[in-house]
Amino acid sequence: MLDERMTFRQWSQGICILSNYAPNRLSLPQASFFALAALCDRAGRPGYITELREALGDRSGRSVQNSYRVFLSPSKERRDGSGWLQHEITRGGRQKLVKLTPKGREIMEKVLAAAVAGEQSAAMTEDGEFRLS
């Protein structure tokens, strides 16, 4: 049970940090899309948009198909882009790759640091109570 609580604490700390930097009205599917793109980036390879949407499954909804663009750099079409992701079309022109920008990596590092801090600030007392410090 303690491990579950600590994991949830880590997750919630990360979500709180992400929400501090995220665009207004960021949905959980959009946040999940960004997290999956970051996971691919940390694994050393960009993610295909179709691959990331498939990983999200039915939870992604239609909105992620187009609204992942909120993470791209500002453009004429989308002035409020965060600049966390960049995308490129593959040589065949059929697939889009997404990868983190330096700004996106900075945000993800802050989220990960918050998760680690959340783990370190959670403790079980002698009487079996869970306390956050």
- Domain boundaries, position 82: 2-132
Buried b (16+ CB within 10 A) or exposed e, 51-74: ebbeebeeebeeebeebbbbbbee
Which residues neighbour 100 within 8 Å (Cβ) at sequence distance 6 or greater?
Answer: 37, 38, 41, 84, 85, 86, 108
The full DSSP string for 16-42 is HHHHHHSPTT--HHHHHHHHHHHHHHH
For residue 131, is pLDDT > 80? no
**Position 78 confidence tier, pLDDT thresholds 50, 70, 90:** confident
- Contact of 32 with 68, CB cutoff 8 Å: no
CATH of the domain at 34: 1.10.10
Q: Which is higher by pLDDT, 133 or 117?
A: 117
Question: How many structural domains is the chain composed of?
Answer: 1
Average pLDDT (62-70) is: 69
What gap in Å lies between CA 35 and CA 52, rounded to an integer?
A: 10
Amino acid letter for position 68:
Y
Q: Which residues pair with 87 in a beta bridge?
A: 98
pLDDT in tens, 13-34: 778 788 888 877 788 888 888 8
**What digits encode the pLDDT tens for the residues 114-130?**
777 765 554 445 554 54
Q: Give residue-wise pLDDT tens across range 87-96.
A: 888 777 777 8
